[in-house]
Structure 1
Amino acid sequence: MNAPVPAHNLAPFGDDYGPLLQGVYAPVADECQLTELPLLQGAIPADLNGVYLRAGPNTRFAPNGRYHPFDGDGMVHAAQFAAGRLTYRNRWVRTDAWKEEDAAGKSTFYGIRETLKGRPDKRLKDSANTDMVAHAGRALALWYMSGDAYELDPTTLETLGKSQAVTASGGGISAHAKVDEIAEELMFFDYGLEAPYMHYGVVGPDGKLKHYVPIDLPGPRLPHDMAITEHYAVLHDLPLFHDPEALKLGRHKICFFPDVPTRFGVIPRLGASDSIRWFEFSPCFVYHVVNAWEDGDWVEMVGCRYMPVRHADGSIDANRTARDVAELVMHARLWHWRMNLRTGESQERELDGERNVEFPTYNSARTGRFTRYGYLVDHSDVNTLQWAGIRKYDLTTGECLSAWSDSLEHSWYSEPWFASADNPQSEDHGYVIAFQWHDQLQRQTLDIFDARDLNQGPVAQVAMPVRIPLGFHGCWMAAHRMKAKV
């Protein structure tokens, strides 16, 4: 049974804005709530309870100028599980920019190809389209360029307003904030074009700002992610940042600087600015971290190292590296970094040199603690945002333990998230959840895997009567965390 979705507009804005608003990349026009969805195989596990939330770009009005996926209006797609039943919902995030354009009936902002954050004449839209995190009973929709944190009801997806904690900081929050689910604290960073160029903050379980300090960087930078451990946060200073001349002209153009080392700064969770310690590594860009933890004097971090493009002589091709990062052309490898807080020593090693894997997830209940297992996607070397398969890794050895793909050519998965089973007996006792678009079959599904072994394929595959556009990041929010603690 293929269960194709109904016909839909694959080029809602015509041919004027390039391929990234057409075909598999085309946005959808409607919000909906669906129940009683047909199963193509298996059964929804009764011990799977909570909600899988995935953010992404879903452009509402024709863009002003050239389009990049980072520009699209934020839309959240949610699969809520309760005692063997599934409800699907999707809603736009009602940001300030969304409300303004809704009232105008057209785009009033510009995209990243046309402008720079902070320009008053061509304003860049905070679209809240990049990541979802779950904290203090609410879901937060976040933007990669550091903006507001929009709070959502995790069940209805109603936009409840802006995070008062982030507003109280006087700054913004980058997309990849981290939540310690044991302490129920949220750690975040903000970056910008003015000194000190970065800030680091902590939000308590009551949803209030608990800690906020400046972090001095050598200049304006473009960090994308961070990590936390039980007692520390790990902040990134990477050798990919603004072209100085373009910056002067108010344009967003990035360069890779191969002579500048990668630096990771380790700061106590509630540490003062001068308590941060910087460790140097080989130059690279890091889009996404898997997880980090402490081992004695060592802080260890596993993530996806963007591999710089190289010339025939082995030297780094800085121009191609920067262009590929800007165009979301991934060349990533699973990597392990170590930082010794007693000796100042740093170490790094490749965990898997063969596979281009990215958009990592894990058992988020163990954020900041040792995790043996990670779940990553096979990232296309050619197609933007095509993730054709899902892999389970041993994060200590780099061994791929199991994997699944319906079709390496035709499958387009979303970021897969681990969801613990009720009363889990091990770190990997649970499920991996992901939406999948199969372009040959014109079929949208929600796939649920046994996280202990992906090789057996989905234990349940649900036919979706609507298409779910390609997106970025998501999260899993267990049922017991969907009730606010404030």
Structure 2
Amino acid sequence: MNRRHFIKNLSMVAGSSLAMAPGMQALAKIIDPVPMPLSTKAQFARALQDNPALIGFANVTENFALKALTIEGKMPGDLKGTLYRIGPAGHERGNLRYRHLFEGDGMLHSFNFGNGKLFHQGKFINTPKFAREQQAGKFLYSGPDTKIAGALAVHHADSINSSNTNVISVGDKLWTLWEAGSPMQVNPQTLNSSDWVNLGQNSPFGQSLKGMPFSAHPKIDPGGDIFNFGLNGNGQAVLYHLSANGQMKNAAVVDAGYRGMLHDFLITHKHILLILPSLSPNGAGKGFFERTRFEKEQPMRVLVIDKAHLTLKKSYQLPPGFAFHFGNAWEERDGSIHFDASLYPDVGSLHNLSALMQGETGKHTNRSQTVLYTLKPNGGFTEQYIDGDSEFPRIYDHLVGHRNRLLYTTGNKNNTLWADSIRRLNTDTGAVDEYYYGEDYLVEEHVITTNKAREGSGYLLGTALHVPSKRTCLNLFQADNLSQGPIMRAWLPYHIPLGFHGSFLRS
């Protein structure tokens, strides 16, 4: 795209009151100061007394100092590096509690492996929002669903950027990510936050990308380049192509014609796939997540975008559906594109994350399951549903955008609150290898760590909250044999809040 034309389009987007991601559309204005019911915090406290499993959603007020962990089993000699994971941890201030899990202030955790020892630490991401509210001792800004009486005006998305969803390594820094604003730079050793990333800095795009939406799910191709998108409230999407050190190579705006919620996307070796779920922001309620509804007559659309020029090439229509997360996409020589999704039949899972914040656990939510799609060059498609539920899909880093056969996910066998198991699916044969933690565990996303560019090698690594002991454990599995159980487990003497995503940085 011509740079002058792009910046002109971008300035129109940025100048609009809808320049933010859909969840933050109203935040360019003074948010409606309707008081949040004071009973929300009390409701959760009462529910926690009766249901200790809710401890994973309880409020955290302090950082976790560097702590050596007790190890069960033997740490493999070839496991060296740091697991980083992030999620919302600051849910309450004063008498107020956030109404949706996605609103909480982000906390970054590190688990550092080396010389047979393992250390944990955790720190809040010191965003301007967090720092200002920490000093005031109360919430100052309304969120997408939580309306605060007398809230300060929100002039841009980074005013309420909680940096709570994902973390990646870029150059010599970590970037912690949100949905609708800038990445935050973090020191990988100390976990100290520094400043927002100005995406266009030292590039021809200059200040034109500052504060633009940058999703929490960048894709890093095997060569190290970073691709991402940001969805604007006017239905347009900003596309990004960065080098491994974060230097902007190219950016463009495409008209997605979509105003729902979009959390994730995919790349192949040639294309970007924006997979637009069957959602609209037209439901009942004052909050964005509360208003988000599933449109059962609205097809999922797939926009196929050329990676080299960031231009729209083709679009497909699929049956209605909703997915938070996708695992991988790859394409054949004839142009057929394959991808997988952890697909839900509706949007109840999103609303259930609001119910959990109020201590409600009895609401039924349809689970997601792996669906394998093939997009045909003639505009047709096929879909294959895989038995069993799945979330948080992961593949080997060296296969991003290329053909993969193994897909690692979390699952639910008996627990309706959170995941309780992990599984490996061979998408060619349908073979499944899984490990069930048990009804007392709440299982988080597990990530792959290996020193070899070979699918099936290395380890699967992730945390789980053991409810009876109120402790979190870090678990290490042989990636090619999950069913044998953890080959090493390390216990924290405390629990940490349930998080979202993470990554492993080898040393």
After TM superposition, the score normalised by the length of structure 1 is 0.83
Contact kept? 1:191, 1:221, Cα under 8 Å: no
Residues in 2 aligned to 1:91 and 1:153: alpha-carbon distance in whole angstroms = 11
Which of these residues, 290, 300, 307, is aligned with residue 262 of structure 1? 300
Hey, what does 1:8 align to over in structure 2? none
For residues 212 and 453 of structure 1, do their structure 2 counterparts lie closer, same or farther at Cα, with a shift above 3 Å needed? Answer: same
Residues in 2 aligned to 1:255 and 1:326: alpha-carbon distance in whole angstroms = 14
Hey, what does 1:483 align to over in structure 2? none
Hey, what does 1:192 align to over in structure 2? 232
Shift of 1:254: 0.9
Hey, what does 1:149 align to over in structure 2? 183
Q: Structure 2: which amino acid aligns with 1:295?
A: E
Hey, what does 2:317 align to over in structure 1? 280
Q: Structure 2: which amino acid aligns with 1:368?
A: G
Which of these residues, 364, 378, 381, is aligned with residue 411 of structure 2? 378
Shift of 1:208: 1.7
Q: Structure 1: which amino acid aligns with 2:215?
A: S
**1:100-119 deviations in Å (ceiling 9; x for gaps):** 21222211122332359xx9
Hey, what does 2:171 align to over in structure 1? 136
Hey, what does 2:195 align to over in structure 1? 161
Contact kept? 1:447, 1:460, Cα under 8 Å: yes
Hey, what does 1:15 align to over in structure 2? 42
Alignment of 1:214-293 (within 5 A): 214-243=253-282, 253-273=291-311, 275-293=312-330
Work out whether 1:419 is the aligned partner of 2:449: yes
Contact kept? 1:234, 1:264, Cα under 8 Å: yes
**1:182-241 deviations in Å (ceiling 9; x for gaps):** 3211111111222x4321111122312211111212342211110111221111222112
Q: Structure 1: which amino acid aligns with 2:243?
A: G
**1:245-265 deviations in Å (ceiling 9; x for gaps):** 768x98951111111110111
Residues in 2 aligned to 1:86 and 1:28: alpha-carbon distance in whole angstroms = 23
Hey, what does 2:32 align to over in structure 1? none
Any idea what SS the aligned residue of 2:199 has? Answer: helix
Shift of 1:55: 0.8
For residues 226 and 101 of structure 1, do their structure 2 counterparts lie closer, same or farther at Cα, with a shift above 3 Å needed? Answer: same
Hey, what does 1:454 align to over in structure 2? 482
Contact kept? 2:413, 2:421, Cα under 8 Å: no
Q: Structure 1: which amino acid aligns with 2:76?
A: P
Q: Structure 1: which amino acid aligns with 2:176?
A: A
Hey, what does 2:471 align to over in structure 1? 443
For residues 252 and 126 of structure 1, do their structure 2 counterparts lie closer, same or farther at Cα, with a shift above 3 Å needed? Answer: farther
Q: Structure 1: which amino acid aligns with 2:236?
A: Y
For residues 250 and 404 of structure 1, do their structure 2 counterparts lie closer, same or farther at Cα, with a shift above 3 Å needed? Answer: closer
Shift of 1:63: 6.7
Residues in 2 aligned to 1:63 and 1:201: alpha-carbon distance in whole angstroms = 41
Q: Kindly, what percent of the aligned residue pairs are identical?
A: 23
Hey, what does 1:69 align to over in structure 2? 101
Which of these residues, 302, 309, 315, is aligned with residue 340 of structure 2? 302
Residues in 2 aligned to 1:325 and 1:442: alpha-carbon distance in whole angstroms = 21
Shift of 1:151: 1.8
Any idea what SS the aligned residue of 2:420 has? Answer: strand
Residues in 1 aligned to 2:114 and 2:490: alpha-carbon distance in whole angstroms = 15
**1:289-348 deviations in Å (ceiling 9; x for gaps):** 01111222122111211123xxxxxxxxx8x687558768451011111223x4333222
Alignment of 1:344-359 (within 5 A): 344-350=379-385, 352-353=386-387, 355-359=388-392
Shift of 1:164: 2.2
Hey, what does 2:13 align to over in structure 1? none
Residues in 2 aligned to 1:64 and 1:205: alpha-carbon distance in whole angstroms = 41
Work out whether 1:360 is the aligned partner of 2:387: no
Residues in 2 aligned to 1:292 and 1:137: alpha-carbon distance in whole angstroms = 28
Residues in 2 aligned to 1:24 and 1:324: alpha-carbon distance in whole angstroms = 15
Shift of 1:135: 2.7
Shift of 1:470: 0.7
Residues in 1 aligned to 2:97 and 2:107: alpha-carbon distance in whole angstroms = 21
Hey, what does 2:162 align to over in structure 1? 127
Hey, what does 1:4 align to over in structure 2? none
Unmatched 5+ stretches in structure 1: 1-12, 309-317, 480-486
Equivalenced residue count is 441
Shift of 1:383: 4.0
For residues 62 and 268 of structure 1, do their structure 2 counterparts lie closer, same or farther at Cα, with a shift above 3 Å needed? Answer: farther
Contact kept? 1:65, 1:111, Cα under 8 Å: no
Residues in 2 aligned to 1:201 and 1:120: alpha-carbon distance in whole angstroms = 31
Work out whether 1:48 is the aligned partner of 2:75: no
Q: Root-mean-square deviation (CA), in Å? A: 2.9
Q: Structure 2: which amino acid aligns with 1:174?
A: S
Hey, what does 1:315 align to over in structure 2? none
For residues 459 and 244 of structure 1, do their structure 2 counterparts lie closer, same or farther at Cα, with a shift above 3 Å needed? Answer: closer
Which of these residues, 204, 213, 219, is aligned with residue 178 of structure 1? 219
Hey, what does 2:378 align to over in structure 1? 343
Q: Structure 1: which amino acid aligns with 2:423?
A: R
Contact kept? 1:71, 1:111, Cα under 8 Å: yes
Q: Structure 1: which amino acid aligns with 2:62?
A: D
After TM superposition, the score normalised by the length of structure 2 is 0.80
Hey, what does 1:474 align to over in structure 2? 502
Shift of 1:380: 6.9
Q: Structure 2: which amino acid aligns with 1:418?
A: I
Hey, what does 1:6 align to over in structure 2? none
Q: Structure 1: which amino acid aligns with 2:199?
A: A
**1:52-96 deviations in Å (ceiling 9; x for gaps):** 111111116247465211111100111122243322111111112
Contact kept? 2:100, 2:146, Cα under 8 Å: no
Hey, what does 2:111 align to over in structure 1? 79
Any idea what SS the aligned residue of 2:107 has? Answer: strand
